[in-house]
Structure 1
Amino acid sequence: MTATQDTTQISTQITPQPTAPRPTRGSTRALLTCAVLTTPVFGVVSLTQAFTREGFDLLRHPLSMLSTGDLGWLQIGNFWITALLTVAGAIGLRRVMRGTPGGTWAPRLLLVEGAGLAAAGVFSMDPGDGFPAGTPLGAPAGMSWHAMLHMAAGSVAFTALIAACFVLGRHFARAGRAGHAVASRLGGLALLLGNGWAMSGGRAGSLTLCVGVLVAMAWVSVVAAAKRADLMGDAGAFDTARR
């Protein structure tokens, strides 16, 4: 081997190799902001339609039924936008919760929730029980394939969100934040009971489901807001968590 080759080999060995860029605090704050926005976006768009679209009754019709009719595209878009915000927020939570109890599974479960919401937007429910206006009263005689897929997607999303709330309860319990741990579990319990009552055919089940979904989603938004505030006030903790 010549001296020139030796020099080239040594130079190659000592030249720093490029590394993948680390996430910046700014990008993580933006992702956490997406998680904060999931509840107001989904809630405002859904409830505005619920109180303004002719024939819709929140005591009898689930929010998913807003995906039907001439204005159904509004709720379909709401599902998709909320899904994107949820996925982005899950990525942000994964960054700031890495290495902590629940820091792996809570973001993963929220990613599953986001996928379920996206699928719920792709596959819409059937019209029924007087909505959209002009639809005969009572449940449809049968259920279409896309309505069945919508129900399956919703079940996946709800189950993942419930589980995420309980995982967050463990996260805060291990961190010594008892109040946050209780609130996390209550959020998951609200959706568990609300969905269970609706699936059992209980009176005003669509309303209990709506309340449960919004409560659980709202708590995740609160957690994301708290993590975002911690990130802004403690750069050192973020730098340690992302290593």
Structure 2
Amino acid sequence: MNNTLRTATLRTSPRERAAAIGLLLACGVIAPLLNIVVILVLGAVRPGYNAWVVPDSNLELGPGGWIQIANYIVTGALLLAFAVGTRRLLRTGPGSTWGPILLGIYGLTFIAIGPILPDPSLGYPRGASEALTVHGAIHILLGPVQFFSLVAACFVLARRDAAIERHWWSRYSLATGLLVTISYVAFVLTAKLSDGGPAGLIERSGIIASGIWIALLAIRLIVGNDGRSTAR
């Protein structure tokens, strides 16, 4: 069996391997765009839901909550595929190990928060008890994991770009990491101290910024293959 697998691997042409990596990397374009579109559309059309105040995870609750649950799971699976493609591409150099690992952890948090629902909060769903539950506490704990893994990935890949003198990308990754950090802290403080305020808007700004970064990173790797074309 091992010999058969080894023979099949050897028979795979460089073009076929590049095409497979390209498909995995394309998942990094689809995942964040899918998530952004779904949370914006659901937030706009869900009755009684105020996207200005309420975080996107509360869309898992109430009528049609299954759509957001499915969105998280599919987005996470696509991000995991992207992380695998990134690892297969970035075989050596700074960030070649930890960059994909952190992106993979980021994807796993999406899969986890799909079935692990949040507790009602900030008035949604209306009239529901906002008492803390076990699954709600786990959902809350997954938030910092998701945040730190994404920010760390930004900084790790910024270091890689700086090492190969791609200074514009390095600065962009650093700026994204800082922006996401600021938005996360502002979101938590706003939700806790101002009884909601524009917490939902602040959270979405971080989601959109991080999503655009991942999509552009994926496009860059597909087109430039980190310095080499995927068509080779």
1:135 aligns with 2:127: yes
Q: Quickly say closer, same or farther: Cα 1:90–1:232, change in 2 above 3 A.
A: closer
Q: Quickly say closer, same or farther: Cα 1:192–1:128, change in 2 above 3 A.
A: same
Structure with the larger RCO, 1 or 2 (CA within 8 Å, 6+ apart): 2
Superposition deviation, residue 188 in structure 1: 1.1
Q: Quickly say closer, same or farther: Cα 1:117–1:141, change in 2 above 3 A.
A: closer
Give yes or no for contact 1:128–1:135 (8 Å, CA) kept in 2: no
Superposition deviation, residue 16 in structure 1: 11
| Same amino acid, percent of matched pairs | 30
Deviates more, 1:24-33 or 1:185-194: 185-194
* Structure 1 residues 82-161: aligned runs within 5 Å: 82-132=75-125, 134-135=126-127, 140-161=129-150
- Give the aligned CA root-mean-square deviation in angstroms: 2.4
Deviates more, 1:62-71 or 1:152-161: 152-161
Secondary structure at 1:143's aligned position in 2? coil
Secondary structure at 1:213's aligned position in 2? helix
Q: Quickly say closer, same or farther: Cα 1:238–1:170, change in 2 above 3 A.
A: farther
TM-score normalised according to structure 2 size: 0.87
Q: Quickly say closer, same or farther: Cα 1:212–1:232, change in 2 above 3 A.
A: closer
Superposition deviation, residue 234 in structure 1: 3.6
Give the aligned partner of residue 17 of structure 2: 24
Deviates more, 1:150-159 or 1:68-77: 150-159
Aligned length: 220
Superposition deviation, residue 28 in structure 1: 0.3
Superposition deviation, residue 89 in structure 1: 0.2
Superposition deviation, residue 141 in structure 1: 4.6
Unmatched 5+ stretches in structure 2? 192-196
Q: Which amino acid is the alignment partner of residue 184 of structure 2?
A: N
Q: Which amino acid is the alignment partner of residue 206 of structure 2?
A: G
Give the aligned partner of residue 64 of structure 1: 57
Please identify the structure whose Cα radius of gyration is greater.
1
Give yes or no for contact 1:198–1:208 (8 Å, CA) kept in 2: yes
Give the aligned partner of residue 158 of structure 2: 169
Give the aligned partner of residue 224 of structure 2: 230
Superposition deviation, residue 66 in structure 1: 0.2
Q: Quickly say closer, same or farther: Cα 1:41–1:52, change in 2 above 3 A.
A: same
Q: Partners of 2:185 and 2:73 in 1: how far apart?
A: 25
TM-score normalised according to structure 1 size: 0.83
Secondary structure at 2:190's aligned position in 1? coil
Q: Partners of 1:232 and 1:164 in 2: how far apart?
A: 16
Superposition deviation, residue 186 in structure 1: 1.1
1:192 aligns with 2:207: no
Q: Partners of 1:86 and 1:186 in 2: how far apart?
A: 21
Q: Partners of 2:220 and 2:181 in 1: how far apart?
A: 24
Q: Quickly say closer, same or farther: Cα 1:141–1:35, change in 2 above 3 A.
A: closer
Q: Which amino acid is the alignment partner of residue 208 of structure 1?
A: I
